[in-house]
């Protein structure tokens, strides 16, 4: 199952690994205010992003970090949650995946943006060691904008890691 396909491309476009996922907010997903639990949304985000990461790397992936998760608006019981994940940036063995979450009232058709997150995934080989991945090719202006923003976020993550854990 962990064996990669015969041909793993050196690079591929963002669209090749995009994921759209839909969930319904059921009673077990909600708190006492009948809003979806933030942790439930986080789980859906992680799953959606992991699928995009696996599609891109054509390998198993693990979540290395989650940053910039923002909850913008609540989602009510009975509503539909639409998640869209895209690989924004690739390093040698890791990638940033952005996820946008929108809520939809299935009765009125009302839709609104409820949260966004950026996650970093690392692809693994058969020995669970990091393995090189294809580079992502941003094609549209929006994909190019997200790629540049992801580069900046990566530089900030690396600088923060260095600042918090300086080499002695």
CB contact set of 119 (below 8 Å; sequence gap of 6+): 45, 46, 49, 63, 65, 66, 67, 96, 97, 98, 99
Q: Does a structural domain hold residue 3? A: no
Host domain of residue 94 = 11-164
- Residue 142 tokens read as 């929006």
Q: CA-based angle 109:110:113, to the nearest 5? A: 130
Handedness of CA 106, 109, 113, 117 (dihedral sign): positive
Find the CATH number of the domain harbouring 26. Answer: 3.10.129.10
pTM: 0.91
Q: Does a structural domain hold residue 2? A: no
pLDDT at 151 over 90: yes
Q: Does a structural domain hold residue 96? A: yes
Which residue, chain included where needed, has tokens 């789980």?
43
User: Can you give the pLDDT at residue 86?
Assistant: 98
For the segment 53-69, the average pLDDT, to the nearest whole number, is 95
Q: Does a structural domain hold residue 41? A: yes
User: Can you give the pLDDT at residue 167?
Assistant: 82
Tell which residue, 142, 61, 130, has the closest CA to residue 96: 61
User: Can you give the pLDDT at residue 132?
Assistant: 97
Q: Does a structural domain hold residue 132? A: yes
Q: Which residue has the higher pLDDT, 110 or 5?
A: 110
Q: Confidence class of residue 1 from pLDDT cuts 50, 70 and 90?
A: very low
Q: How far is CA 2 from the centre of its chain?
A: 21
pLDDT at 2 over 80: no
Please provide the average confidence, as pLDDT, over all residues in the chain: 94
For the segment 114-130, the average pLDDT, to the nearest whole number, is 97
Domain count, the chain: 1
Q: Confidence class of residue 5 from pLDDT cuts 50, 70 and 90?
A: low
Q: Does a structural domain hold residue 94? A: yes
User: Can you give the pLDDT at residue 168?
Assistant: 64
């Amino acid at each position: 199952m962990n064996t990669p396909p015969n041909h793993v491309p050196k690079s591929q476009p963002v669209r090749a690994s995009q994921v759209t996922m839909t969930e319904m907010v059921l009673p077990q997903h909600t708190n006492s205010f009948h809003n979806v639990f933030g942790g439930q949304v986080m789980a859906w985000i992680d799953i959606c992003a992991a699928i995009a990461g696996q599609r891109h790397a054509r390998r198993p992936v693990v979540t290395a970090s989650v940053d910039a998760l923002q909850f913008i608006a609540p989602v009510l019981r009975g509503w539909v949650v639409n998640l869209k994940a895209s690989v924004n940036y690739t390093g040698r063995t890791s990638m940033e995946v952005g996820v946008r979450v929108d809520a939809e009232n299935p009765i009125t058709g009302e839709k609104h943006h409820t949260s966004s997150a950026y996650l970093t995934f690392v692809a693994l080989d058969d020995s669970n060691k990091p393995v090189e991945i294809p580079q992502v090719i941003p094609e549209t202006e929006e994909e190019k904008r997200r790629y540049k923003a992801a580069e900046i976020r990566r530089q900030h993550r690396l600088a923060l890691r260095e600042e918090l854990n300086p080499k002695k």
